[in-house]
Structure 1
């Protein structure tokens, strides 16, 4: 029986219950959630995802096409908590309504209730992909972001059907990306009865038979920290990627990369990715033949290496295991190391040269987003979104200053007249005379403001009304701006190539063929 296809490989056209979905609130703000229907929860609306933009019930997220805009719902989370406690008491027979609940035929679970749409707030439901998962995964370590791992996959020529070794799995960002890249089917599937013979009428092997004999891609992931390795294994199982990834908790510096599986030659890797503090200590295991002991000792005994093992030990020495290469002997092996410091790069490159790696190159990634928009500048843009309400010319700036000064003079004049009226009323009250009428204040203010430039409120109302008949998306100057900061951590990527080993048998075959 074929395993269920992972949503990271084929998410389908719409979301479904008990599957992973991702709510995109903003460009860089995504929330992963496993969608559960009302039948598996205590609430009629199903579970709820609470965000700063509103609450989203799972019932409103299930069976929706990917990319749908989901409106927020009105959910009283306080009463939901109260009902939950009440139901627990009734289930234990402690509440006064326990008898009524026991005699009722309607079950608590399975009641589907339509959520009430809120007045504002929305999000987009997007499918799970390695790119979206990188932005919202639970961080256990620093992760390899999309700009880095996309370049690594391209530079190492990773393709479907390849085997890759990943050391330093961490949070699993790179693991999800390469699992999708190497996937070309699941291994261990039996052939149908009608195709088991593998022969056509003309005696040739069928295409289905050939496709079934091909090599299936696989990821061999190694992690030194045991809790992180267990968490990554659980995530891969829940995401349906466990048939493609083998997670091993191991210290690769000492124990290497060979694993015990049904395949005696595993991992039989074509590509290696090392995200380790000291990758040069692991290179002794990534060779096609046993490296000279003197080379291994000189690299491991470097006093500047903090993770190097001591040369002296009081324990009983164990017999060395027979050497077995984890590399594919039939293809060229490509290696990439991920290091944050240039000193690590120097030691790694020196070790690569000692172990026979060729075509060594180093790259650094600097990722910035570009924002392309139209820039509209002018006093007529005040109050409009995406515009800069500042003077576009010198004449506009001078006229705005005159308008401000004229309105300031009127304001201060009215304030002075108001103070004088208050003083006249106080003096008239002391003399016992009748205070002068105050009806002329509003009339005087109206007369003084006549002929002056419009106020800010009037300008905003006029600009808003005029914008209805303008094609704002065509106005302004088209500008391109970059982010002021790099949104990724500094890292150095070192690439190298290890060619296929040329043996004495190969030399003899070449001599007989070309003599």
Structure 2
């Protein structure tokens, strides 16, 4: 199948384009997918994506290099100006009346930047799509599907079966893993001879039983440019298996991923003996089942052993993200952001207390000059009477304003990556779930003809060495 427009997951280009999928990143754990589009109606109306950090018209997101920071726009100010015209002065013949925005002159309105708020526009990847997709079912997250694809040994040009597409998270990751080009190239020329070896194109055969989810998957596959790589089918694989209705295009899968409530009911259809077997007869088949309960794993393994699957292993992926940062604790960081402006040691605390005591002495000294009697505590303090008796010899105490200005000036030459202490903390909310991954292998069928062919190859190789 020829694709006129490459998928943004495979070839996003250097800039954002019209009708392309983009990920609007607001912060580390909050991304919004958006299909960027310009106005095609007679009226000059721009598509706007509203977020908690501001409004972003698509005209400000288009033709931007990927990764650019885009400032939020003041959409309300633009809409408030609609319907207003500037009056022409009597003595100004060169002025032209400003036409109303709603007249439809074919140009998009210009928006002024908002006082705050920004976002980054990122190219779509399976990882970003996983954290931003609309949840229709339980999602296979990045730590799970990266481990699954590695254990299944999926590589470009392979064919993989996915049963239980759900929200499409694993579908996008598998499509990137098997992608090896959209169309097969013509036979290459080698030493004047055409090579008959044809380039293998990767393929993902996705099966979904729930019809509304199947329809959503089909829309996303077309919208994301994955039609040449992903084949979605609405079917109950428990009863009907994995063979396609078109016999001219057999599946021939190298790997199988079953995200089903009862995987053991679908295993009998993954057989090499059936006439419409979906497995590649020339390679070993790698299988993975995704189950949330250990009882499901037990029943699946029993069926695997019964059907001849070997090298059965079960894994549990327990992913945890750890935030590592430097903790800056000192009174020297007062007024700075992201620090703990508390005393880091006893000496620092005593120094601040002495500073406060000196401020008290200055205040009492001023009161005495104004004819007020100093307090007993101040007079009985060590050296209190002598210091207050000296005229014009007030202690020099730095004010808080001067101290904050000094700290801010010193912060310019500070190296925060060398100061403080290194601390770590696990994230409070884990975007994951309990999952048991069961892997198994089904060796390729080995017939008497295959044995004879292998023996002849070994014999010919030995004769060649002797000569």
Please indicate the TM-score interval, normalised by the length of the shorter structure.
0.7 to 0.9
Question: In the TM superposition, what whole-angstrom CA distance separates every residue of 1:268-322 from its partner, at most 9, and x where no partner exists?
Answer: 11100000111111111112125xxxxxxxxxxxxxxxxxxxxxxxxxxxxxxxx
Paired position in structure 2 for 1:233: 218
- Aligned with 1:493 (options 399, 416, 437): 437
Gap change, CA 1:141 and 1:41, over 3 Å in 2 = farther
- The equivalent of 1:315 in structure 2 is none
Per-residue CA distance 1:87-125 (angstroms, 9 max, x = gap): xxxxxxxxxxxxxxxxx9x97262133321222211111
C-alpha separation between the residues in 1 aligned to 2:261 and 2:400? 60
How has the CA–CA distance of structure 1 residues 184 and 460 changed in structure 2, closer, same or farther, with 3 Å as cutoff?
A: same
Between Structure 1 and Structure 2, which shows a larger proportion of helix residues?
A: 1
Mark the CA change 1:238 to 1:377 in structure 2 (over 3 Å): closer, same or farther: same
Q: Which residue of 2 aligns with 1:393?
A: 345
Which residue of 2 is the match for residue 216 of structure 1? 201
Aligned residues: 416
8 A Cα contact 1:39 1:111, kept in partner:
no
Please, which of 228, 235, 242 is the counterpart of residue 257 of structure 1? 242
2:169 is the counterpart of 1:169: no
> Contact 2:358 / 2:395 at 8 angstroms: preserved in 1?
no
1:86 maps to which residue?
A: none
Whether contact under 8 Å (1:366, 1:486) holds in the other structure is: no
Contact 1:258 1:324 in 2 (8 A): yes
- Alignment deviations for residues 36-55 of structure 1 (CA, whole Å, 9 cap, x no partner): 123457435x2111112111
User: Could you tell me whether the CA contact under 8 Å between 2:308 and 2:442 is conserved in 1?
Assistant: yes
- 2:47 — aligned with what? 47
**Are residue 151 (structure 1) and residue 147 (structure 2) matched?**
yes
The normalised TM-score by structure 2 is: 0.79
> With structure 1 as the length reference, what TM-score do the two structures score?
0.73
SS in structure 2 at match of 1:327: coil
Q: Provide structure 1 residue ranges, at least 5 long, that are not aligned to the other structure.
A: 84-103, 291-322, 412-449
- Structure 2 distance, partners of 1:452, 1:368, is 53
Report the 3-state secondary structure (helix = DSSP H, G, I; strand = E; otherwise coil) of the residue aligned with 2:319: coil
What pairs with 1:81-480 in structure 2 (closer than 5 Å)?
Answer: 108=104, 110-187=106-183, 191=186, 203-206=192-195, 210=197, 213-261=198-246, 263-264=248-249, 266-289=250-273, 323-400=275-352, 459-480=403-424
SS in 2 for 1:387: coil
Q: Residues 43, 157 of structure 1: CA spacing in aligned structure 2 closer, same or farther, 3 A cutoff?
A: same
Contact 1:222 1:252 in 2 (8 A): yes
Pair 1:122–1:510, CA change in 2 (3 A): closer
In structure 2, relative to structure 1, the CA distance for the partners of 1:365 and 1:457 (3 Å cut) is farther
How far apart in 2 are the matches of 1:362 and 1:350?
A: 13
Q: Secondary structure at the match of 1:468?
A: helix
Where 1:18 maps in the other structure, the secondary structure is coil
2:14 aligns to what?
13
